[in-house]
Every structure is written in C-alpha cells, then in structure tokens.
Amino acid sequence: DTGVSQDPRHKITKRGQNVTFRCDPISEHNRLYWYRQTLGQGPEFLTYFQNEAQLEKSRLLSDRFSAERPKGSFSTLEIQRTEQGDSAMYLCASSLSAGELFFGEGSRLTVL
C-alpha cells in the first residue's frame, strides 16, 4: 500500500439517488479527512477522523451527508438524496503529522 486509494473514481447518478464513496488511507495513518472540490476552486474541508472518532464536521456537511470510519481503517462517505449541487470531486486524505496530508486521486460525482 503506497498511497491513499478511493473508489469509485467516477460516479454518475440521477438526482435523488444515494451514493457512497470509499477511502482507504495509508495504513499507518490515524487521521483521515474528506474534502470537496468544485470546478475552479480549492478543496473545502468536510470532516475528519482521528482513528474511528469523527472529531469535526464542516457546516458544508448537510444532514444528507454521513461519514464513517469503522475500526479506524477505511472510511465511507454517503450522500443521500443527491442534488445537482453535490456534483464535485470528493477527495480523501490521511496523515500522521500536523497538516501534511496525503491525498487520494478523488471520486468525481456527477448528478444528472
């Protein structure tokens, strides 16, 4: 395992459907982050985990969004009742030390 992996890389869905993204962090990293990146913008923080505990959630994370990290390993990000405004790249990152995040290639969501 040489990096952060995300699956699927691209998801096309119809408005109103639920989608789930998975992130596998670098194995020894105990911190895991989710960011959202829309076209032409920098990534925006959504939430992060220290081991299995979700320590912070951005106000960007509406109640349609839920993230989990069972057993402190992989994480899932679920979006319920998708809207067109949810179309974005969802980036996962992991870290050991402060601020030095290692990113995955992202999961691109297109909501039709």
Partner 1 sequence: AQTVTQSQPEMSVQEAETVTLSCTYDTSESDYYLFWYKQPPSRQMILVIRQEAYKQQNATENRFSVNFQKAAKSFSLKISDSQLGDAAMYFCAYSLPNFGNEKLTFGTGTRLTIIP
Q: Using CB under 8 A, list all residues that contact partner 1.
A: 3-4, 31, 33, 35, 40-45, 48, 50, 55-56, 91, 93, 95, 98-106
CB 57 within 8 A of CB 65: no
- CB nearer to partner 1: pick between 7 and 80: 7
Tokens of 95: 């870290």
Q: Which is nearer to partner 1, 70 or 98 (CB)?
A: 98
Q: Residue 51 has what DSSP assignment?
A: T
> What is the smallest separation between the CB atom of 11 and partner 1, expressed in angstroms?
16
Smallest gap from Cβ 30 to partner 1, in A, equals 11
CA distances from 74 to 68, 83, 84, 111 (A): 9, 25, 27, 25
Which residue's structure tokens are 């395992």?
1
We find the least distance from the C-beta atom of residue 79 to partner 1, in angstroms, to be 20
